[in-house]
Structure 1
Amino acid sequence: MELRHLRYFVTVVEEQSITKAAEKLCIAQPPLSRQIQKLEEELGILLFERGSRPVRTTDAGQFFYQHAVQILTHTAQATSMAKRISSINMIIRIGYVSSLLYALLPQIIYLFRHNNPDIQVELIEYGTKDQIEALKLGKIDLGFGRLRISDPAIKRILLRKEKLKLAIHKNHHLTEYVHIGIYLSQIIDESIFSYPATQKPNFSTLIQSIFTELGLVPKNMIEVREIHMALGLVSSGEGVCIIPESASDIGMKNLVYIPILDMEAYSPISLAVRNMDQSPYLSKVLECVKQVFEEEGIAFQFEGYQGNTA
């Protein structure tokens, strides 16, 4: 006995007509009659009085109808609850580097949550390098990072090349460049605070690699624990600091920011996922990235992604 047989039987009882039941079920009348006859044969009882107009159930048919309705109702409830439980338990774990909280990541995550209320989002702070291992071990499902790290097991989707800025004290002698911009070759004699003081590669490594790529050797690179410490030292009049453009919104006192003009001076913002991951939430996340970029007037070109975000 199949659930569809019960649905056929219940519909005939409620419509009191094979013809009307067939129309409601969108099937032809002869197949419906055969299914009802097959059900009677399987049960070994008559469910309907023969020749009655409108169709009437036998006593046994009426008893069976009441229980059939309960079975269908319970099945529908169980199906609904199972879907709800499945949705509630749908958790996406997203790794992120802390500096992206000053960029557009909060807007992207908020939009994703708004568009997908049945998906629970769990944010976990991981450095870009640590995100690679976390993805391999299944600790996270995707990661937003800044470094150019390659791994055969990981697919890296470049979302944006964020420009870098130089943070200086408002009375620093380089303030004349605030409106015209500056090249890194002009600051190699400065004391430059880099961060963070964590396992490499990290953002400090990225900055050093940019200098190296340009053939430059800064005379005094000072590594500190994290960005707030670096900017705090600059705010107190000690040295300068290179930061992502979005981090200038931190709003620490006494600081001004100079655009860095070198083409190589950017921080890549990328989304990392497992190489064979075809999960549907990936395209949903990229849709949110696209929408936020459009709202902010940022050009988007997802390098390394072949999916559809239209």
Structure 2
Amino acid sequence: MEVRHLRYFVAVAEERNFTRAAEKLFIAQPPLTRAIKQLEDEIGIDLFIRKPRGLELTSGGAYFLLQAQQVLDKIEAMVEDTRRIALGRKTVFSIGFVPSVFYGQLPLMVRRLRQNKNLEIVLHELKTRQQIDALKSGRIDIGFGRLRIDDPDVEQEILFDEPLVAALPAGHPLAGAPPSMEQLADVPMIVFPTGPGPNFADITHGLFRRRGLKVNVIQQVNDLQTALSLVASEMGFTLVPEQVQRVNRDGVQYVRLADDNITTPVIISRRRGENPNAIMRLTNTILAELVENRLGGRYP
């Protein structure tokens, strides 16, 4: 079994489609399909259920995906650590983040950390579940997300709760005043990201479900920018954290909700029980100041 087989498998498992996975890997589809079949033959089980509309992981495939991701994370961490030792000049500090937290405090924290010329900041866009695995494998040093995930090796802390706002097509009838959840439920909804949960799509969808409201999810997309593009195209609305309002997008109007208690947390994740080094202590100091400013109304 080669490392490339693991990378191929993870790409197919994430995309649930051979064509899209091949495009992501920059290879042709036939050799990718053959490689996955070789992997299944070597293991002795089917990793995927082939369906007309795409692929579905078998129970064995789901387990193998988790293990493959951890192996690839460890390999990447090994390579990065090797480079770090060989260079011997800079300390590498790796940060995982979900895109919706990168419009407020996080860029300010990164900017201040980068003032240390002996520090190299590496950013990894990762879903919260991926951040947990990356922390455990050593791929990242700290993570920023929005979901609570219980893991004995990782500690999480809520920095603050952030209001959600509706991103509506400019000029939409509901854009003139704060809409209620009942009003929004009548508008087609765009959710992000797609893929297996838990994720931000589960949070936003759950807000309506817990109120006994049904929504018409017209499209699931991979990222925030695509969701906003579809809103600008008047396909529907989406819910976004307040700090996303900093994204000026033609054709999109951000509107506060009638219920101002609808929020989403910003959560920091660290390895549990690890004594903070000088870089982590500096990061914690900067974060404490930024969070105090946020809570005190001195945004960001």
Both proteins in one fold, TM over 0.5? yes
8 Å Cα contact 2:155-2:271 kept in structure 1 = yes
8 Å Cα contact 1:87-1:118 kept in structure 2 = no
Larger of the two Rg values belongs to structure: 1
Residue 130 in 1 paired to residue 127 in 2?
no
Residue equivalent to 1:285: 283
Residue equivalent to 2:198: 201
Three-state SS of the structure 2 residue aligned to 1:186 is helix
State the alpha-carbon separation in 1 of the partners of residues 272 and 218 from structure 2: 36
The 1:150–1:273 alpha-carbon spacing in structure 2 relative to 1, beyond 3 Å, is same
Three-state SS of the structure 2 residue aligned to 1:94 is strand
Displacement, 1:262? 3.0
Identity within the alignment, %: 27
What amino acid is aligned across from residue 95 of structure 2 in structure 1?
I
Residue equivalent to 2:256: 259
State the alpha-carbon separation in 1 of the partners of residues 88 and 297 from structure 2: 33
Alignment of 1:175-254 (within 5 A): 175-177=175-177, 181-220=178-217, 222-254=219-251
What amino acid is aligned across from residue 280 of structure 2 in structure 1?
L
8 Å Cα contact 2:218-2:236 kept in structure 1 = no
State the alpha-carbon separation in 2 of the partners of residues 299 and 130 from structure 1: 32
State the alpha-carbon separation in 1 of the partners of residues 224 and 192 from structure 2: 6
8 Å Cα contact 2:92-2:121 kept in structure 1 = yes
State the alpha-carbon separation in 1 of the partners of residues 263 and 184 from structure 2: 16
8 Å Cα contact 1:99-1:247 kept in structure 2 = yes
Displacement, 1:272? 0.2
The 1:159–1:210 alpha-carbon spacing in structure 2 relative to 1, beyond 3 Å, is same
Alignment of 1:20-99 (within 5 A): 88-99=89-100
**Alpha-carbon displacement from aligned partner over 1:10-59 (angstroms, at most 9, x marks no partner):** xxxxxxxxxxxxxxxxxxxxxxxxxxxxxxxxxxxxxxxxxxxxxxxxxx
* Greater Cα offset, 290-299 or 103-112: 290-299
Three-state SS of the structure 2 residue aligned to 1:242 is strand
Q: Across the two proteins, how many residue pairs are aligned to each other?
A: 213
What amino acid is aligned across from residue 282 of structure 2 in structure 1?
K
Residue equivalent to 2:109: 108
State the alpha-carbon separation in 1 of the partners of residues 249 and 124 from structure 2: 26
The 1:184–1:129 alpha-carbon spacing in structure 2 relative to 1, beyond 3 Å, is same
Paired residue for 1:274, among 266, 271, 275? 271
8 Å Cα contact 2:141-2:270 kept in structure 1 = yes
Residue equivalent to 2:15: none
State the alpha-carbon separation in 2 of the partners of residues 87 and 186 from structure 1: 58
The 1:86–1:239 alpha-carbon spacing in structure 2 relative to 1, beyond 3 Å, is closer
Q: After the TM superposition, which segments of 4 or more aligned residues of structure 1 sit over 4 Å from their partners?
A: 294-300
* Greater Cα offset, 251-260 or 196-205: 196-205
CA RMSD of aligned residues (A): 2.5
What amino acid is aligned across from residue 203 of structure 2 in structure 1?
L
What amino acid is aligned across from residue 174 of structure 1 in structure 2?
L
The 1:171–1:209 alpha-carbon spacing in structure 2 relative to 1, beyond 3 Å, is same
Residue 121 in 1 paired to residue 118 in 2?
no
**Alpha-carbon displacement from aligned partner over 1:256-299 (angstroms, at most 9, x marks no partner):** 11112435522211110111122133332121123234555646
8 Å Cα contact 2:179-2:258 kept in structure 1 = yes
* Greater Cα offset, 253-262 or 86-95: 86-95
